[in-house]
Structure 1
Amino acid sequence: MKMSPQFLPTFGGKKMHLHDFGSEDLCVEDIAHALSMVCRFGGHCHRHYSVAEHSLLVSELVPEEYKLSALLHDASEAYLGDIIAPLKRMPGMEGYREIEREMERLIEVKFVVNFVDDPIIKEADLKALYIEGRSFYGEKALEAWGFPPEIVKWGKCSSRDVLCYAPSPHDIKKQFMNAFLAYGGVK
């Protein structure tokens, strides 16, 4: 007997049908919970480093009016998972990228944010990646990552680092929710 789940059961009890979803299916509590549990870099870092923690970092790197958008820039991964960038960019992943784009647009509409095409968010995301890469893999490893020169220059002047200890998913979820509300998010 072959099983084929028809929906993703969310932490909050919703049924996310990935072939037919709408903004009413999105819930910030589900997003905060799932992102606090999903590890970045496919888990290949010296401690659990969640997408929620990354999102909090990105939100710290933007001006006030961009903070909510930055916090939610990876919210689609609460429902689709975090696929490592080299795999996500490969030919054959167009279907995934299309679903991700649709999910991102719904998130933008539901939470009245803009991150998909915003250069401020993209730059902050790259800065966060630089900080994370330096923290987990060292300065030397970053040379092969292909960062734009302005990000490398910024990174060399920044002393920001990722904590060496892992806050619990519960604590990160709480920080994410507090930031969401502080940045003007509406549930």
Structure 2
Amino acid sequence: MIAAVELRAAGTRLRPPEVADAPAVLLLAQDPDVRMWNPRCSIPDLPAAVADCVTGADWSDGAQATFSIIDDATAAYAGTIALHHIDHDNAQARIGYRIAPWTRGRGVATGSVRAVSQWAFTTLRLHRIVLTHAVGNTASCHVAHKAGFALEGVMRASKRFGDGLLHDEHLHARLAADPG
């Protein structure tokens, strides 16, 4: 069980998803970049977006913690970030995010990754967080580096992305002791 929390980062508030986020979640899921780089983000309609919000808000199994990113200035939904595949025995997890096109380029992804990572290291007592992305997704590579995630290697032809092709992925990781 993970207790729900709210975090602050880069002019945003990170909180568990709410059903009211569903229309913006659906809009983001239709973004061409999200469809390309997050092919598992299958949210075809509003009921699926509502279900995604409800599932993301349920942290009771301790395996994931999903946050909606809310812009402080406008109170608008700016994206989603999730700590997932949380392995408490080995003190590690994976992190992933989807950032709305209307907030990209403002440090929202980097700030959110830093905030969730710091929370995971201090509150959940994780030791390692992994971030992977397609080699062609240079924006995510930039976020990983700026958030203190070291590039550990390339996983060749490891994941099928939105174009239907298998892509190489960068494997980044940050340890609790790393600067962030």
Using structure 2 for the length normalisation, give the TM-score.
Answer: 0.30
Higher strand share: 2
TM-score by structure 1 length?
A: 0.30
Q: Which has the higher helix share?
A: 1
